[in-house]
Amino acid sequence: MPAENPAAAPAAPGPDVLRRTEGRAGFLTLDRPRAINALTHPMVRALDAALADWADDPAVTTVVLRGAGERGLCAGGDIRAIHDDARAGGTASAAFWRDEYRLNARIARYPKPYVALMDGIVMGGGVGVSAHGSVRVVTERSRIAMPETGIGFVPDVGGTWLLGRAPGELGTHLALTGAQIGAADALLTGLADHHVPAAALDALAADLPRLPVDEALARHTTPPAPGVLAEQREWIDACYSAATVEEIVERLLDSGVPAAKETADTLLAKSPTALKATLTVLRAARALDSLEAVLDLEYRASCAALTSHDLVEGIRAQVVDKDRNPRWDPAALAGVTEADVARYLTPPPGGDLGLAAG
């Protein structure tokens, strides 16, 4: 974090979100460093309240989002809490998603520059509070991913909107595999706008309260190190343009490209139901004309996943017991029916999110 300015307004108390103003900037810091700043429901509400307050405040011309600690901006939502809620048949997760997705939409439509410093780990819900912003800054330490299929879930927080608009089939590849990408690939796929060395983030944050955003960025941006997706684009586009997950896997295995075969093995370790639901939701998202409509769609998918076997099992294997050996049901792609996938597009018992109609 930047050194405190003695003239800066004092930080307001909040639920793991530090809020302060300095000069013309409002700073929001996610403050759960031991959990890589994983989002809780109170944190989502605190972020939303701050943005609502500052939207019409003439003293705040720029908003800056950071993460406390050295590990990353945000590792996502608190999936252990989601696991416990799903096991209990509760409604807390659906309530969390309602507020989280509304926050994602607010960020995307924010009337002032929203500068997200996407240093370190930025995954799942962390992408939702950063990649919808108007100014997305990555560093050489950035590791960005939507890893939901590995826990029996579907990319949410507007992730299918973002990935569905990546060049070619790069977004499909990232959505299905959950692969982590660095700075250059984040720029290529449209998840980020600028690269700034991690060592220069404090200086950038110190400039933002006193300079226009473009001027502050111009002082610190540098070209990123080369990524990997540009070189893989040919086989990714060819394989992921298939109509079904089964055909995607078949094309990957038959491509003759070692990296493609490794990717097929990666896919076959994910939740078969989550893979098929993700491909369906991602392609439906491509046909929608607004982030709000996509968030409505993702809310349906998230609520369906909450009542599935695979979400509880996936979180158990990856986070609770950490045996890394999920027992998916169905265990293979062939066992996932059209009705299984259709559930992810069906309005939940508690009603739709309704953002697009708002």
List active site positions: 77, 125, 148, 156
- DSSP letter for 345, please: G
3-state secondary structure of 308: coil
- Angle of helix 245-254 relative to helix 229-240, nearest 10 degrees? 120
- What are the structure tokens assigned to 175, written together? 């959505």
- DSSP letter for 6, please: T
- DSSP letter for 24, please: T
> Which helix (H) or strand (E) segment is 17 a member of?
strand 17-22
The strand pairing partners of 67, in sequence order, are: 30
Rounded CA-CA distance 145/180 in Å is 5
Rounded CA-CA distance 286/98 in Å is 22
Among positive and negative, which fits the CA dihedral 221, 225, 229, 233? positive
Spatial CA neighbour of 147 closest among 77, 82, 84: 77
Phi, psi angle pair for 138, to nearest 5° = -110, 165
Q: What share of the chain is helix, strand, coil (3-state, %, to 5)?
A: 50, 10, 40
